[in-house]
């Protein structure tokens, strides 16, 4: 299995995280996203005409879009069906809802990080404000979950793709100038994600440390 990958990409990190949780081994095909902009080049557009990473190539089956890749990997490599709970319509719906939420954090929290780190041209104040609005909603959701003994975005004993999809943009948010101090439930949840067996870090993300 091959992942077209860039080490500092939050979207690639999502996929690497799930591969780790599932214990699936893979090879990284490193794309020179920065500074080379290889993902926008002609050669890479033959792999993904949209010019985005990540792209997964599983023995010839080629799939783009981080969330699509998460769905595929969980459906194929998680025999327990816990990450993508297709047998439970309500939980499945909630997973899809939080994955859509993660699309919104990508265009807000993740965009501010691209602006600060790599100089991408965004209205950073506007994106930061929008990210704060999303984080408030997520923090509140998790806070109520904690009150009823739920550790994860989608209530249930085990984490789902919702947690994988939301995690990178939250844990990397401070690089974009978004302080997580006001979101204690979100911060506690990142600590729980870090304790899932198979968890992996990326530059900017630290392993779990007991306080």
Least distance from another protein to the Cβ atom of residue 99, Å? 25
Q: Are 167 and 99 in contact (CB under 8 A)?
A: no
Positions touching another protein (CB under 8 A) are 6-8, 30-32, 34-36, 38, 116-119, 174-175, 177, 202-204, 206
Which one, 69 or 173, has the nearer CB to another protein? 173
| Residue 194, burial from CB neighbour count under 10 angstroms (0-12, 13-18, 19+) | middle
3-state secondary structure of 62: strand
Least distance from another protein to the Cβ atom of residue 16, Å? 13
Least distance from another protein to the Cβ atom of residue 86, Å? 36
Tally of helices (H runs) and strands (E runs) in the chain: 8, 4
Per the structure block, which two tokens stand in for 169? 């943009």
Least distance from another protein to the Cβ atom of residue 41, Å? 11
Task: Give the residue from 13, 210, 10, 185 showing the smallest Cα distance to 113.
Answer: 10
Which one, 79 or 203, has the nearer CB to another protein? 203
Least distance from another protein to the Cβ atom of residue 32, Å? 4
Which one, 53 or 186, has the nearer CB to another protein? 53
CA gap 141, 182 in Å, rounded: 14
Task: Please count the other Cβ atoms lying within 10 Å of the Cβ belonging to residue 162.
Answer: 24
Which one, 67 or 128, has the nearer CB to another protein? 128
- DSSP annotation of 124: H
Least distance from another protein to the Cβ atom of residue 139, Å? 21
Which one, 31 or 134, has the nearer CB to another protein? 31
Which one, 155 or 204, has the nearer CB to another protein? 204
Pairing of strands 61-64, 27-30: unpaired
Residues 6+ positions from 182 with CB-CB distance below 8 Å? 135, 136, 139
């Amino acid at each position: 299995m091959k992942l077209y990958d860039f080490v500092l990409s939050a979207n690639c990190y999502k996929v690497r995280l799930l591969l780790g949780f599932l214990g699936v081994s893979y090879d990284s095909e490193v794309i020179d996203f920065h500074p080379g902009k290889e993902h926008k080049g002609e050669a890479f557009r033959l792999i993904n005409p949209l010019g985005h990473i990540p792209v997964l190539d599983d023995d010839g089956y080629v799939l783009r879009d981080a969330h699509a890749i998460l769905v595929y990997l969980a459906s194929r490599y998680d025999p327990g069906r816990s990450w993508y709970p297709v047998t439970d319509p309500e939980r499945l719906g909630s997973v899809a809802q939080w994955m859509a939420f993660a699309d919104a954090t990508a265009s807000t929290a993740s965009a501010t990080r691209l602006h600060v780190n790599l100089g991408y041209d965004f209205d950073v104040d506007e994106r930061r404000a929008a990210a704060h609005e999303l984080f408030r909603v997520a923090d509140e959701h998790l806070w109520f979950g904690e009150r009823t003994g739920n550790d994860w975005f989608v209530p249930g004993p085990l984490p789902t793709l919702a947690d994988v999809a939301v995690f990178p943009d939250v844990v990397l948010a401070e690089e974009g100038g978004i302080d997580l101090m006001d979101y204690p439930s979100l911060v506690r949840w990142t600590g729980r994600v870090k304790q899932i067996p198979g968890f992996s870090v990326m530059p900017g993300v630290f392993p779990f440390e007991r306080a």
